[in-house]
């Protein structure tokens, strides 16, 4: 039987509610899946036909260590997604290189645009960590300056009111085939926390959203087991990329009955 590692972290509080769903779908596809911590020194990665990064959610504070691990794994077996993808995707400055419509972003504490409301966050982050939302331009600049002083690249973006009405749309692709899409709860709405990102509703994406998502995928040459493309609309209705999740995204597998099987079949195809 084919054996694959499901890469996670030291999840004492059992935050990963997709692990058992995925492992069950893998079994139905003839794949023996085993959960492994990415930083477990006893893990024998070469014993696996493939190593699949899933909930390595503690990588942010240990990014260099995580990427070094990914490169070592790739030397002895197939890593999905590949180490080069992980290296690029874990620093959101990739948005500067994406020659497609993205949320307007200012990359410095100096010369902030005159926006009604700001979102300021570090380019290397997850779960709204060290992220603020404010109408105060001076506060936004101060937070961006604090990020710069700590050696991080700030991202300053306008807060888009349409997120409250339409929401963020996440399109999920497995081996570049569309699986499903959800409308996500805004993470920075009053009363919401980073953990609320798992609240969503299944939705059918609009044709212009699908068109943009597939252009994003076409810009990435490497093999992709999974890709989550998060889109929002500008005030004029134009869809833009807010984030491209290729490292350890929540996949909203419980929202679409066929999604776990779609992921398992995609993995089988890439082995």
Span of 126-130, 155-159, 165-169, 245-249 with lowest mean pLDDT: 126-130
pTM of the model: 0.91
Whole-angstrom distance, CA of residue 36 vs CA of residue 44? 10
- Residues 85-114: pLDDT tens digits? 999 999 999 999 999 999 999 999 999 999
Residue 14 has pLDDT above 80, yes or no: no
Backbone angles phi, psi at 74, to 5 degrees: -65, -20
Structure tokens at 241: 């990329």
- Residues 51-87: pLDDT tens digits? 999 999 999 889 999 999 999 999 999 999 999 999 9
Residue 147's Cβ-count burial label (10 Å; 0-12, 13-18, 19+) is buried
- Residues 209-224: pLDDT tens digits? 999 999 999 999 999 9
Structure tokens at 67: 């990427």
- Going by the DSSP 8-state scheme, the letter that residue 46 receives in this structure is G
Instruction: Look at the block and give the residue holding tokens 């005030």.
Output: 235
Whole-angstrom distance, CA of residue 17 vs CA of residue 105? 33
- Residues 198-210: pLDDT tens digits? 578 999 999 999 9
Average pLDDT, the chain: 91
Structure confidence at residue 199 (pLDDT): 75
């Amino acid at each position: 039987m084919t054996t694959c590692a499901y890469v996670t972290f030291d999840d004492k509080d059992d935050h990963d509610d997709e692990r058992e769903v995925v492992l069950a779908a893998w079994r139905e596809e003839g794949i023996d899946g085993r959960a492994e911590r990415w930083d477990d020194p006893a893990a024998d990665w070469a014993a696996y036909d493939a190593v699949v990064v899933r909930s390595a959610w503690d990588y942010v504070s240990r990014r260099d260590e995580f990427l070094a691990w990914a490169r070592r794994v790739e030397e002895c077996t197939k890593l999905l997604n590949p180490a080069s993808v992980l290296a690029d995707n874990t620093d959101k400055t990739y948005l500067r290189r994406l020659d497609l419509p993205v949320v307007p972003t200012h990359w410095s504490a100096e010369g902030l645009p005159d926006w009604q409301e700001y979102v300021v966050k570090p380019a290397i982050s997850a779960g709204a960590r060290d992220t603020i939302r404010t109408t105060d331009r001076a506060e936004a600049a101060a937070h961006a300056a604090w990020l710069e002083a700590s050696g991080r690249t700030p991202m300053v973006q306008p807060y888009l009111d349409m997120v409250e009405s339409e929401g963020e749309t996440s399109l999920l692709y497995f081996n570049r085939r569309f699986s499903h899409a959800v409308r996500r709860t805004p993470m920075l709405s009053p009363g919401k926390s980073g953990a609320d990102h798992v609240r969503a509703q299944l939705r059918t994406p609009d044709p212009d959203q699908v068109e943009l998502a597939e252009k994003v995928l076409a810009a990435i040459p490497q093999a992709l087991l999974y890709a989550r493309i998060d889109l929002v609309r500008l005030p004029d209705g134009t869809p833009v990329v807010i984030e491209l999740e290729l490292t350890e995204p929540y996949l909203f597998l419980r929202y679409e009955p066929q999604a776990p099987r779609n992921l398992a079949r995609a993995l089988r195809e890439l082995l």
